[in-house]
Structure 1
Amino acid sequence: MVTEIAIIDVKPGEEAAFASAYRDTGHDLLATTPGCVSAAMHQSNETPTRFVGVNEWESTEAHLDNFRGTDRYARYGAALRPYLAGAPLVEHFDDIMHC
């Protein structure tokens, strides 16, 4: 399993609209993708314009092939991109210890 972390900054004043777009469209596009184990979005208490997506995938390939390489990714971007302040920072992480 691999964890995808996406650090997302949205335009000031667009926090509620971004959260709504994620709830209405983004989450289902991720969560129903083959190979997606879990999908969550968190909003910072200290920096309300910062969100962090934490998604678990069966493998990096499952994410890249089943989501990024499909029309799901285009639809996800179309729903959320209008609210972004810049490109998200996205990386994949392997679990070295889980409790």
Structure 2
Amino acid sequence: MILEVAILNIKPGQESAFEKDFQTAGKYISSIDGYIKHSLRRCVEQANKYLLLVEWQKLEDHTIGFRQSLQYLEWKKLLHHYYDPFPVVEHYEMLSANLPG
């Protein structure tokens, strides 16, 4: 499993519109083979800052499967104009986990 991580800085005053459009955009990313799940979190200290977490089965599911798809073009059209600056996207692999029990 690969975790995609992006910090999204949204243009001030556009947070509500971004959140609404993000709900719509979720159907595009979730339709891609290899997609597991995603979440969007808003920063407590900075209202226009968000954390996007997406789990993929493998790196290529994101970098090729999603980024080279028609669904990505729709995602881009809905969301990319909100970012300032454009986010850096990084990918992480699990090394260890603290499981309950």
Question: What TM-score, normalized by structure 1, do the two folds share?
Answer: 0.93
**Percent identity among equivalent residues?**
26
Query: Does residue 2 in structure 1 map to residue 2 in structure 2?
Result: yes
Unaligned runs of 5+ in 2: none
What is the identity, as a one-letter code, of the residue corresponding to 2:93?
D
User: What residue identity is the alignment partner of 1:72?
Assistant: Q
1:95 to 2:94 alignment: yes
In structure 2, what is the equivalent of residue 41 of structure 1?
40
Structure 1: runs of 5 or more not aligned: none
Q: What is the match of residue 59 of structure 1?
A: 58
Structure with bigger gyration radius: 2
| Inter-partner Cα distance in structure 2 for 1:71 and 1:32 | 11
2:88 maps to amino acid: L
Structure 1 position 82, deviation (Å): 2.1
Detail structure 1 runs of 4+ shifted over 6 Å in the superposition.
Answer: none
Q: What SS does the aligned partner of 1:45 have?
A: coil
Query: Root-mean-square deviation (CA), in Å?
Result: 1.0
**Matched length:** 98
